[in-house]
Structure 1
Amino acid sequence: MTLRIAFMGTPDFSVPALSELIAAGHDVVAVYSQPPRKSGRGMTQTPTPVHAFAEAHGIEVRTPEKLKSPEEHQAFRDLDLDVAIVAAYGLILPQAILDAPRLGCLNIHASLLPRWRGAAPIQRAIMAGDNETGVAIMQMEAGLDTGPVLLAERTQIGPTETAGELHDRLSLIGAGLMVRALAALERDSLASTPQPDDGVTYAAKIDKAEARIDWTRSARELDCHIRGLAPFPGAWCEMAKEGKPQRVKILRAEPVARSGTAGTALDDALTIACGDGALKLHQVQRAGKGVQQADEFLRGFPVPAGTVLS
């Protein structure tokens, strides 16, 4: 049976799910996405990745700023949906929207609920040093990611994996998982499991202020911090050149068994002492510049042993 669906998503993470729903033969009658925003040097209005993908496939795209008005509720009800699929949409769904589809609204959430409810589950899992994460298909309700879990898939977090790399893997896992969930839903064989009350954590939105590196933390903690913020917004510190401090993002690093005063370069090859252990920096980016490997960076920006980073 083909389901009549509205898809609600915005960033790159959501595109594979929309693509898989179309490929599975479901009738995606409308796509909801965040409105186009100004971006790039010319500050031109740019549609979201989901918006652009949907338009390319001839699907109606709706971009309301909010979903609170009775008119938006009625327009959504008029779609006569079997189900709505939500993947990183970015707007809170009022109860009137949640209640409109015959089978409700299903969400693709990039964590193993109830761990890491909220806005930044991928980054927070890595930053916390988790070894495992996954994707949950959840029946949506009014609470923040509190609904029962319908299907889930686990995956290990690689020891050097960045948030960007994990994001791409979980996006594909979520797309396949949602197609499986809808197939089970059509057979009336989709089990619903309430989330437990214990083990709840919240993945707060990343604050730019927390991206600054605190070298007094351990090398292990800072490795997780750096990977969890790579490639965006990027963990950063300041390095001085000719007496002028410059902001430098650290995108890849490796804990090594060395010691010294926290924040001090231990050699001429970007090995920086931490509160416990040290980090060998592998990939960095100066403000306004492209990403560079450490050896390339050092040719134009030497950091001699004894240099103190802040």
Structure 2
Amino acid sequence: MRLVFMGTPAFSVPALDALHDDGHEIVAVYTRAPQPAGRGKTVQKSAVHQRAEALGLPVVTPRSLKNEPEQAEFASFRPDVAVVAAYGLLLPATILAIPPRGCLNIHASLLPRWRGAAPIQRAILAGDSHTGVTIMAMEAGLDTGPMLIHEATEIGSKTAGDLTEELSLMGARLMLRALDEQPPALPQPEAGVTLAPKISKAEARLDFALPADQLLRAIRAFNPAPGAFTEIGGERLKILDAEVVEGDSSPGEASEDLTLGTASGRLRPLLVQRAGKPPMTPEALLRGWRLPDNARAR
């Protein structure tokens, strides 16, 4: 099938690979323009950009698709369908109407739950037992289009990083099915709609006035990015992994082994990271850093 692929982060790469390996004619790959990244703010191409170049595919990096020249360029590729996976730019109605078979999106949730930018993190934060992937036909609303295929997976103790990798592979497989089988597009249910707004860095600060199990979900939801964090004695610590243990202490109170009090239960970090340092166990941290007296996480 003649198609345009639209994606940006590593999540999108398995779908691009699957479509290429399956023999589809990928006439263009749209991705976000190179952006400054890292401590040195070096301009870097997106994961999709790099992979498309490795596959020898033409890459297009418009800053917007709202203007007539960009829309005319998109139309010039004459795609039968556009496959979208975490592209990051708004597709206006003019673009959505160009491919005869529409624009199909890989969305990392079981729609209509978690429409929006951060469905994986929001599902973990909310304590959902399952999430998954929905292949949907795009329309002007925010992830409101009709659904073609969906599949679920258990969340359990998975981090956002774990689920992102799993769902990216699931989405690639389901997109191939959608293109091959052409299932009917069914409207999303009106009941059960929730929104998944983008994660802010401020949300990643752990609030020890909350129960330990809720904080554990936050740690998993924000791993690997932006990383759940707290401050103890003026030292900023990311907590990358933890467990809930029995016992009571006042919220934020830190014991000698760095176990932290919460509103209900206690939180024992298993993997932490100081600014500019590699991840380490609390035992390794405390060998080189003295915990202040009467330390409290804030």
8 Å CA contact retained: 1:268, 1:305: no
- In structure 1, C-alpha distance between the alignment counterparts of 2:147 and 2:290, rounded to whole Å: 52
8 Å CA contact retained: 1:5, 1:26: yes
2:194 equivalent in structure 1: 201
1:256 equivalent in structure 2: 245
- In structure 2, C-alpha distance between the alignment counterparts of 1:277 and 1:42, rounded to whole Å: 41
1:174 equivalent in structure 2: 171
> Are residues 1:276 and 2:274 paired?
no
- In structure 2, C-alpha distance between the alignment counterparts of 1:298 and 1:112, rounded to whole Å: 42
Deviation (angstroms), 1:45: 2.2
Q: What CA deviation, in whole Å up to 9, does each residue of 1:85-144 have, x standing for no partner?
A: 000000000111000001000000000000000000011110111110000000000000
Deviation (angstroms), 1:41: 4.5
Work out which of the residue numbers 45, 48, 53 in structure 2 matches 1:47. Answer: 45
> Are residues 1:162 and 2:159 paired?
yes
1:120 equivalent in structure 2: 118
- Percentage of matched positions with identical amino acids: 53
> Are residues 1:63 and 2:56 paired?
no
Listed as ranges, the gaps of 5+ residues in structure 1 are none
1:246 equivalent in structure 2: 235
Amino acid at match of 2:212: A
Deviates more, 1:221-230 or 1:33-42: 33-42
Deviation (angstroms), 1:43: 3.2
- 4+ residue segments displaced more than 6 Å: none
- In structure 2, C-alpha distance between the alignment counterparts of 1:5 and 1:293, rounded to whole Å: 47
1:20 equivalent in structure 2: 18
Aligned length: 298
Deviation (angstroms), 1:246: 1.4
Deviation (angstroms), 1:40: 3.5
Work out which of the residue numbers 91, 94, 109 in structure 2 matches 1:93. Answer: 91
8 Å CA contact retained: 1:139, 1:149: yes
1:303 equivalent in structure 2: 291
Work out which of the residue numbers 72, 75, 78 in structure 1 matches 2:73. Answer: 75
Amino acid at match of 2:290: P
SS of equivalent to 1:118: coil
Q: TM-score, normalised by structure 2?
A: 0.97
Assess, with a 3 A threshold, how the Cα gap between structure 1 residues 223 and 300 changes in structure 2: closer, same or farther.
Answer: same
2:136 equivalent in structure 1: 138
1:227 equivalent in structure 2: 220
Deviation (angstroms), 1:305: 7.7
- In structure 1, C-alpha distance between the alignment counterparts of 2:39 and 2:205, rounded to whole Å: 26
- In structure 2, C-alpha distance between the alignment counterparts of 1:194 and 1:308, rounded to whole Å: 50
- In structure 1, C-alpha distance between the alignment counterparts of 2:207 and 2:39, rounded to whole Å: 32
- In structure 2, C-alpha distance between the alignment counterparts of 1:127 and 1:5, rounded to whole Å: 36
- In structure 2, C-alpha distance between the alignment counterparts of 1:227 and 1:273, rounded to whole Å: 18
8 Å CA contact retained: 1:269, 1:303: no
Amino acid at match of 2:200: D
Deviation (angstroms), 1:302: 3.4
Amino acid at match of 2:177: R
RMSD: 1.2
- In structure 1, C-alpha distance between the alignment counterparts of 2:278 and 2:159, rounded to whole Å: 18
2:210 equivalent in structure 1: 217
2:282 equivalent in structure 1: 294
SS of equivalent to 1:292: coil
- In structure 2, C-alpha distance between the alignment counterparts of 1:302 and 1:178, rounded to whole Å: 52
Amino acid at match of 1:162: T
Q: TM-score, normalised by structure 1?
A: 0.94
